[in-house]
Amino acid sequence: MSREQAFWPVECGEGEPDLLVCMSCLSEVFRRKVPMPECPTCHGVSTYEAFTLNSIRDWGTEDLIARALRAEAEVEQMPVPSAGISASEPAE
């Protein structure tokens, strides 16, 4: 049986690196989140460092680069939540 992975969100400013790589195993990468309680591959805790996709391409394995590309694509496909304001609500 597999259980769903839980994540801690990571805030990144505009233009800051937002791909977080596990520095213990160098095989897991997530965008703007880290798995809790530990890395799903090596079970390392608090071992994530932020990188840009270009920097991962410089030193990462083909597998890590592919995972980074998937992480970026997943975020781009996520729907943007609405502000929660209804057009029928009266303005004050």
Task: Domain ranges for the chain, please list them.
Answer: 6-77
pLDDT 10s digit of each residue in the chain, 92 long? 456 789 999 988 888 999 999 999 999 999 999 999 999 999 988 889 999 999 999 999 999 999 999 999 986 665 545 444 444 444 44
Q: What are phi and psi of 52, to 5 degrees?
A: -90, 165
Q: What is the DSSP letter of 41?
A: T
Answer yes or no: are the C-beta atoms of 8 and 14 closer than 8 Å: no
Supply the pLDDT for residue 89: 47
Nearest to 28 by CA among 88, 70, 91: 70
Using the 8-state DSSP alphabet, how is residue 47 labeled? -
What local confidence, expressed as pLDDT, does residue 70 receive?
95
Which single residue is written with the structure tokens 């920097």? 55
